[in-house]
Amino acid sequence: MTIPLTDVTPLLWQVTPNPEPTSVEEREKILTDPGFGEHFTDHMIDICWSAQGGWHRPRVSPYGPIQLEPSAAVLHYAQEVFEGLKAYRHADGSIWTFRPESNGRRMQRSAHRLALPELPVEYFVESLRRLIALDGDWVPSAPETSLYLRPFMFAKEAFLGVRPANKVAFYLIASPAGAYFKGGIAPVSIWLSDQFSRAGVGGTGSAKTGGNYAASLLPQSEAYEHGCAQVLFLDSNEGKYLEELGGMNVVLVYSDGTLVTPASDSILEGVTLDSILQLARDRGHRVEQRPVSLDEWKAGVASGDIVEAFACGTAAVVTPIAQLKGRDFSIGAADAPAGELTMSLRQELTDIQYGRADDKHGWLTRLDS
Ligand SMILES: Cc1ncc(COP(=O)(O)O)c(C=O)c1O
């Protein structure tokens, strides 16, 4: 793939190894039970951007606090985007990531919507390699574990006027992640948010930007209060069509094997969703991306036409949905078992990611060489 590097010259990286890295014993202890997003590796990457100078001064430096002026635009107007992908350790010890160009391109689309500069995809992927070069030992090797990679970009210009910032920073940090489902995959109950929307037509729903997640926190708390793991949002216009969960896309499976997933301009285009749909197509399943109403889900389950439902995203890969709960209805049952197709697609995708199956679509990129 070639990306025009219009405003960049080949960047010279400054590398400052952490003088006090985590001890081997401490790191191994963390890696036995890393949780999610709690521990961070010894280094981070940052690349500056200015309206005058474009992308410059890429650095690898010790992980640590960022200095920002209190007037930094991101703290006031949330001009920010981020990404999430993983590094996987294969059985031979090598370290790989999954479709990083897709995340790099999505970050460009998110940046465009938030009036931020677009980081060339080459730099995005190179930053992953540079971090792994120093922090590769942080990629765990137990089943279903990974190193979660979190690229993000924000407006750092010290200026209170409401306009796109002229100074921006791209960062990459990494955090070891344990198996999402300890002790086996457990189907989840999800809560239908009937009062709150996540995003609206023409808004920022299809961008991976912090504001969308801030908007999902209150409904997410409501989900917890109702004993649900996640919240499902409907379209903000009519409150009729499925959008997505707070951090995952949603898929329904019909009894004839057709997979149906919502098409909407206000949902995030998931890399996991795209991959799962491709694997399903490869097996001969029909795939439909179209508006899907809540009524269709209710009627389909009642008639027996809809036989499985699942959510998908980088963090949990594929999560079977046992039940959808609303204020005055529920679909399915809290103890419903995971769907067969759901589980076999999950297995196929994780087998590719962990190097146990043929990477027939060329989705893997090696990071440690
Ligand atoms: C709102 C939202 N939808 C969908 C997804 C799934 O996207 P992906 O499969 O690229 O992780 C995510 C996770 O990144 C998300 O935050």
Ligand 1 atom 2: residue of nearest CA: 247
Q: pLDDT value at position 280?
A: 98
In this prediction, residues 171-183 reach a mean pLDDT of: 89
Could you tell me how far CA 193 lies from the centroid of its own chain? 21
From 101, 249, 274, 312, give the residue whose CB has the most ligand 1 atoms within 8 Å, as the site to mutate.
Answer: 249
* Angle ∠(192,196,200) on CA atoms, nearest 5: 110
54, 186, 195, 246 from 222: Cα distances, Å:
43, 21, 10, 12
Ligand 1 atom 4: residue of nearest CA: 248
**In sequence order, which residues have a C-beta less than 8 Å from that of residue 164 and are 6 or more positions away?**
79, 115, 116, 155
d(CA 124, CA 208) in angstroms, rounded, equals: 15
Question: What is the CATH topology of the domain spanning 2-179?
Answer: D-amino Acid Aminotransferase; Chain A, domain 1 (3.30.470)
Index of the ligand 1 atom closest to the CA of residue 83: 14
d(CA 190, CA 74) in angstroms, rounded, equals: 32
- DSSP β-bridge partners for residue 153: 81, 170
Q: How confident is the model at residue 318 (pLDDT cuts 50, 70, 90)?
A: very high
Index of the ligand 1 atom closest to the CA of residue 198: 1
88 neighbors 97 (Cβ within 8 angstroms):
yes
In angstroms, what is the span from residue 355 Cα to ligand 1's centroid? 22
From 314, 318, 319, 349, give the residue whose CB has the most ligand 1 atoms within 8 Å, as the site to mutate.
Answer: 314
For 292, list phi and psi in degrees, rounded to 5. -125, 120
In angstroms, what is the span from residue 248 Cα to ligand 1's centroid? 5
**Closest to 300 measured CA to CA, from 352, 247, 259:** 259
Q: pLDDT value at position 369?
A: 83
Residue type, 331: I
Q: How confident is the model at residue 16 (pLDDT cuts 50, 70, 90)?
A: very high
- DSSP β-bridge partners for residue 321: 188
Index of the ligand 1 atom closest to the CA of residue 85: 11
Handedness of CA 303, 305, 310, 311 (dihedral sign): negative
Question: What is the CATH topology of the domain spanning 188-353?
Answer: D-amino Acid Aminotransferase; Chain A, domain 2 (3.20.10)
In angstroms, what is the span from residue 273 Cα to ligand 1's centroid? 8
106-138 burial string, b = 16+ CB within 10 Å, else e?
A: bbbebbebbebbbbbbbbbbbbbbbbbebbbbb
pTM score of the predicted model: 0.96
SS3 labels along 133-151: HHHHHHCCCCCCCEEEEEE
Which residues have any ligand 1 atom within 6 Å of their CB?
A: 84, 244, 247-249, 268, 270-273, 313-314
Classify 225 as helix, strand or coil.
Answer: helix
Index of the ligand 1 atom closest to the CA of residue 272: 9
For 234, list phi and psi in degrees, rounded to 5. -105, 170
In angstroms, what is the span from residue 13 Cα to ligand 1's centroid? 30
Q: pLDDT value at position 312?
A: 98
Summarised one tens digit per residue, pLDDT across range 261-314 is 999 999 999 999 999 999 999 999 999 999 999 999 999 999 999 999 999 999
Sole residue written with tokens 């949002």: 233
Summarised one tens digit per residue, pLDDT across range 90-126 is 999 999 999 999 999 999 999 999 999 999 999 999 9
**In sequence order, which residues have a C-beta less than 8 Å from that of residue 276 and are 6 or more positions away?**
251, 259, 312, 318, 345, 349
Return the half-sphere exposure (C-beta side, CA atoms, 13 A cut-off) of residue 205: 22
In angstroms, what is the span from residue 249 Cα to ligand 1's centroid? 6
* Angle ∠(46,206,187) on CA atoms, nearest 5: 95
In this prediction, residues 125-146 reach a mean pLDDT of: 97
Helices and strands in the chain: count of H runs, count of E runs: 8, 18
Index of the ligand 1 atom closest to the CA of residue 212: 1
Domain with CATH 3.30.470.10 in the chain: 2-179
Q: pLDDT value at position 102?
A: 98
Judging by DSSP bridges, how do beta strands 167-177 and 43-50 pair with one another? Answer: antiparallel
pLDDT at residue 36 above 60?
A: yes
In angstroms, what is the span from residue 59 Cα to ligand 1's centroid? 28
Classify 264 as helix, strand or coil.
Answer: coil
Sole residue written with tokens 């793939």: 1
Instruction: Look up residue 239 and give its two tokens.
Output: 């409150």
pLDDT at residue 2 above 80?
A: no
In angstroms, what is the span from residue 313 Cα to ligand 1's centroid? 5
DSSP one-letter code for 284: T
Q: pLDDT value at position 1?
A: 35
In angstroms, what is the span from residue 314 Cα to ligand 1's centroid? 7
Classify 113 as helix, strand or coil.
Answer: helix
pLDDT at residue 8 above 60?
A: no
78 neighbors 211 (Cβ within 8 angstroms):
yes
In angstroms, what is the span from residue 88 Cα to ligand 1's centroid? 18
Q: Where are the alpha helices (DSSP H) in 238-293?
A: 271-282
Q: pLDDT value at position 73?
A: 98
